[in-house]
Amino acid sequence: MNKEPYPVAYAYWSQEWRAEHSYEQFLASWQGTANVELVTLFPAGEENGELTFFVETKHLEVVEGKPRPGIFYYSGFFTVGKTTEGWRLTGGSLEPENLAWRLGGHQPWREDPRQVAVVELHGHLGEKINLDPVATQVTRLDDGRVVVMVPTTDEKPEWHKVILAPLIEGAWRVLSWQ
């Protein structure tokens, strides 16, 4: 396989990241990958002058064992920051998407952005969150993302904003919340 793009891709990472991850490790992490296609790219926040982006990618990979190609989807977050070399990737990772929740009929709530927002906030804020998805307000953005406003159970509710993106596999992924 042609390794021409790998040195260029490795150079997009910051010096600090490259100091912790050798080129050989980087190259090995792509073993068996024949092609990568960017499916989704959304801004997902800013902290300490660094910008975070959500990505979803489609990979053509050769499956181990009996060699055969397969299509796999990954999603994750990457952070970029201003370095002495200019803007560089300072962190990030991709995780394989898992269709088991859908194929097995488990967790159907993952297909509803209201319910995903409520579950995410309940995990962070506990019983203060109104667990009734009907109490939420949903706004669909032109780019496919959704903003869900979730109230607390207080007499004068405090509203929390959750931004979500749809994944190829049908689930919704939280990009950020406030």
For residue 67, the model assigns a pLDDT of 78
Name the residue among 72, 66, 68, 65 with its Cα closest to residue 30.
72
Q: Using an 8 Å Cβ cutoff, are 170 and 102 in contact?
A: yes
What does the pLDDT look like over 159-178, one tens digit per residue? 999 999 999 989 999 999 98
The Cα–Cα gap between 128 and 103 comes to 33
Tokens representing residue 42 in the block: 């959304």
**Domain map (residue ranges) of the chain:** 5-97, 101-177
For residue 2, the model assigns a pLDDT of 63
Residue 149 has pLDDT above 60, yes or no: yes
Q: Using an 8 Å Cβ cutoff, are 43 and 55 in contact?
A: no
Please, which pLDDT band fits residue 73 given cuts at 50, 70 and 90? Answer: very high
Can you give the pTM of this predicted structure?
A: 0.86
Residue 91 has pLDDT above 60, yes or no: yes
Say how many CA atoms lie within 13 Å of 154 toward its Cβ. Answer: 11
Residue 60 has pLDDT above 90, yes or no: yes
For residue 127, the model assigns a pLDDT of 80
The Cα–Cα gap between 11 and 20 comes to 13
What does the pLDDT look like over 126-146, one tens digit per residue? 888 888 878 899 999 999 999
Q: What is residue 97's DSSP assignment?
A: -
CATH no. of 5-97: 3.10.450.50
Residue 65 has pLDDT above 80, yes or no: no
The fraction of the chain above a pLDDT of 70, given in percent, is 99
What does the pLDDT look like over 20-53, one tens digit per residue? 999 999 999 998 888 999 999 999 999 999 999 9
